[in-house]
Structure 1
Amino acid sequence: MKTLLELLQKGGGWRPSLYLKIANPPYMELVIEATDESGPCGLPCVSVAHYGEQNGDPMRDPEMCFELGFAGGPHLDPFYWRNDYVGIEQWSRDTREGRYIYVAHLHQQHESFAKQWDINLREQHFLEAFTGQCILG
């Protein structure tokens, strides 16, 4: 998750008003933002999404939500994955009715996907595409 952490750092770090929007044609825009709610372990939550459009509606392709932790150094731990084009929404970690839920095999899939996505973002030069104009919040 090195690329995403570097993008967060370039954007001034996590804060409740965090909103970064990185245009990098020919790729879909990348949006990194703080959410209003904490993650399943009570840590700050960061949403990362590529956005496309269908019939005038914004479409996530994909969106992942991560808890941002600092113990042992900054790190991102995924817990949510969504793709609007295929109508899939998955929670690998959640809190329901005060109970922590962990779906091990799905969390491993989310971690694997996130690692590959992070590599792709680096290879697609999203770090180089980042400018001060990408900071919107």
Structure 2
Amino acid sequence: MQTILDILKMAGGFRPNLYLKIENAPYMALVIETIGTGPMGLPALSVAHYGEQNGDLMRDPEMCFELCLPIASKACLDPFYWRNDYFGVEQWSRNLVREHYVCLLELHKQHERFAETWNDNLRLQGFVEAFTDKSIRG
């Protein structure tokens, strides 16, 4: 998700109270926000497109990522959650279950592939260029 990392850099970097909303018509708004920590205890982000149906906000999709900062390497986002409200699907590929770390490897690979495709789409749709200081809400 290099596109999201590029947007984070433009927004001044990761911080605990980060909330970005990027309007980019005709596409659904893109919301990036911190959500505490992920299953490995690393800082976590929610990235979502929000639509509306019958007055309710609908995620299409939402993915949650842990922010990884390997030593002597560049930052990366590692997915652990995917949701689409229009389809009624919620998936955890990495999570803590009864204080034990669980990783569903094949589902995690699917989440990684989806994130790569979504990254390419966000870049092609111009979300980096659509980011402005007005996108910073928190």
The TM-score by the shorter chain falls in which range?
Answer: over 0.9
Match in the other structure for 1:54: 53
RMSD: 0.6
Deviations 1:96-133 (A, max 9, x none): 11100000000000000000000000000000100000
Instruction: Give the whole-Å Cα distance in 1 for the aligned partners of 2:129 and 2:74.
Output: 24
Q: Give structure 1 stretches of 5+ with no counterpart.
A: none
Query: Partner letter of residue 49 of structure 1?
Result: A
Query: 4+ runs of 1 displaced by more than 6 Å?
Result: none
Taking the TM superposition and a 5 Å limit, the aligned residue runs for 1:76-115 are 76-115=77-116
Instruction: Give the whole-Å Cα distance in 2 for the aligned partners of 1:4 and 1:17.
Output: 16
Instruction: Give the whole-Å Cα distance in 2 for the aligned partners of 1:109 and 1:11.
Output: 29
TM-score, length-scaled by structure 2: 0.97
Query: Partner letter of residue 123 of structure 1?
Result: L
Instruction: Give the whole-Å Cα distance in 1 for the aligned partners of 2:27 and 2:52.
Output: 13
Taking the TM superposition and a 5 Å limit, the aligned residue runs for 1:1-137 are 1-35=1-35, 37-71=36-70, 72-137=73-138
Query: Partner letter of residue 128 of structure 2?
Result: L
TM-score, length-scaled by structure 1: 0.98
Q: Give structure 2 stretches of 5+ with no counterpart.
A: none
Q: Percent identity?
A: 61
Query: Partner letter of residue 58 of structure 2?
Result: M
